[in-house]
Amino acid sequence: MALGGKIAQNTIIHLAGKFLSLVLGLVAIAVMTRFLGVEKFGYYITVTAFLQFFGILVDFGLSLTTIQMISRPGSDIDKTMNNIMSLRLISAILFLALAPILIWFFPYNIFIKIGVLLTVASFFCVTVIQSLTGIFQQKLKMLEVTLAEVAGKIVFCALVVAAAILGKNIYWIFAAMSLGSIVNLILVFLYSRKYILWRWEIDFNLWKEIFRRSWPIALSISFNLIYLKMDTMIMSLTRSQSEVGLYGATYRVVDILTMLPAVFMGIVLPIMTNYFEAKDFKNLFGVLQKAFDVLMIFAIPIVLGTMVVGVPLMSFVAGRDFAFSGEILKVLILASGAIFVTSLFGYAVVGINKQKQMMWGYLATAVLTLAGYLIFIPKFGYWGAAWMTVFSEVLIMFWTGIIVCKTLKFFPRLQIVWKSLAAAIVMTGVLYVFRGWHVAMLLILAQFVYFSLLFLFKGIKKQEILELIGRKVELQK
């Protein structure tokens, strides 16, 4: 199969798995919000935000560095992966062991503190899975990872539902997260043995190369922590847990949406790296343009449509107690739209090895956003957090775009943007007219109207549809 077909096939497989995982995740959230209520759901959000802080820090840029290093022509994949995984296990144990200790120095209640103890295993598993996934992305074999993720989500969702039915306390929810992640890790590891002969390996020369490539990403990730996670942390320390619950429920929906571009670009990254290393700029520009078109086709209708269906969507997902989260969602969806664009340029920054230049963008964004969080969250709560999140994501979008465009002398053509925008505006008008319908019907109607109009506007061509389903796999330039 040609390269374009492999990308399309793996994207479809992974997106299908992600969709199923996200459906299961939404079911779990729907059960938790209704079972726990706004305040106790705030406990859950605080625990996950606290551990995500350590989970992102422990990554040390290894997830992206893994894909980059094993995608180089002539690389020793087994040796590289064994050294990266040895380093990952050491860093994960060292950093994540701090979380259950440090949580006792924070002014949280006992539910949150014990929740961190019960949930830390989940984040250990996730951080290991992130590195293991690199080998599947490099070989364009995402089915195994997808099956493992779905299995883990099934376990998590089943345990959450059981806890709600049996009337158990919130500790069962935290334990369910860890058990689901453990199942996921075991399956991914077993699948990975088909491609890698795993062994403990420490080659300090290779470790130096890994550090040389990863430290700019690691430093950038440290800055990312400030503008991505400090909003929830500051809110949990300065506002009520009920506010944290409302904001967290909204953020869960945004997280789900922003997984889509991350999955897509994670599969495209090895291809970009290969083309850049080979100085094949014609094909590199072709991949970047196609990726941009795909991301815009989905980002634009999501942003516009949410302005109409935000409140009923949150009521449907989380229950009536969380209906107001829909108003917060109308703000955060703007950040989500920016993330779609940033995904393209952000992964391209890694593909063209410009992580060092990107550090200054992350640093500036972190400083400005943290100042905004400290000023606005104590006074305005989730509104301050939401608007500062939009500010930070838009700033990063421009910064990554400038670096990529300046380095490659590439700027994406915008034809698909105008066609998608026209179709999405009509779709939004239709949603407004029929806004009294159930949100599930509105979502189905939105998809039908939008993609029908996009096809009529030739934003999606018959040739591309055939390409996606495997009848034609030649990569469009």
68 occurs within a structural domain:
yes
pLDDT in tens, the chain (477 residues): 444 555 555 556 666 777 787 788 888 899 999 999 999 999 999 999 899 878 777 766 666 666 666 666 666 677 777 887 888 888 888 888 889 999 999 999 999 999 999 999 999 998 888 878 777 766 667 778 888 988 999 999 999 999 999 988 999 999 999 999 999 999 998 988 887 878 887 877 777 777 777 766 667 666 776 777 789 999 999 999 999 999 999 988 888 788 778 777 777 777 777 777 777 778 888 888 888 888 899 999 999 999 999 999 999 988 889 999 999 999 999 999 999 988 888 878 777 767 667 778 888 888 899 999 999 999 999 999 999 999 999 999 998 888 888 888 888 888 889 999 999 999 999 999 999 999 999 999 999 999 999 988 877 665 554 444 343 333 333
Q: How many CB atoms lie within 10 A of CB 366?
A: 21
141 occurs within a structural domain:
yes
Reported pTM: 0.79
Q: How far apart are CA 318 and CA 31, in angstroms?
A: 8
Q: How far apart are CA 431 and CA 435, in angstroms?
A: 6
Cβ neighbours for 21, distance < 8 A, ≥ 6 positions apart: 149, 150, 153
The most distant pair of C-alpha atoms in the chain lies apart, rounded to whole Å, by: 64
197 occurs within a structural domain:
yes
C-alpha to C-alpha distances, 57 to 229, 335, 346, nearest whole angstrom: 11, 22, 18
Paired tokens of 216? 């700019």
475 occurs within a structural domain:
no
Q: How many CB atoms lie within 10 A of CB 17?
A: 21
476 occurs within a structural domain:
no
Count of domains forming the chain: 1
Residues 57 and 97 sit within 8 Å (Cβ to Cβ): no
- Calculate ∠ Cα 276-280-286, nearest 5°: 90
DSSP structure class, residue 476: P
DSSP structure class, residue 459: S
349 occurs within a structural domain:
yes
What is the extent of the structural domain holding 361?
3-468
474 occurs within a structural domain:
no
Q: b/e map of 194-227 (b: 16 or more CB within 10 Å)? A: ebbeeeebeeeebeeebeebbbbbbbbbbbbbbb
102 occurs within a structural domain:
yes
Residues 431 and 308 sit within 8 Å (Cβ to Cβ): yes
For residue 273, give the nearest of 441, 471, 24, 75 by alpha carbon: 75
**Phi then psi dihedrals of residue 109, to 5 deg:** -75, 175
User: Which ranges of 97-142 does DSSP label H, i.e. alpha helix?
Assistant: 99-102, 110-138
Q: How many CB atoms lie within 10 A of CB 237?
A: 14
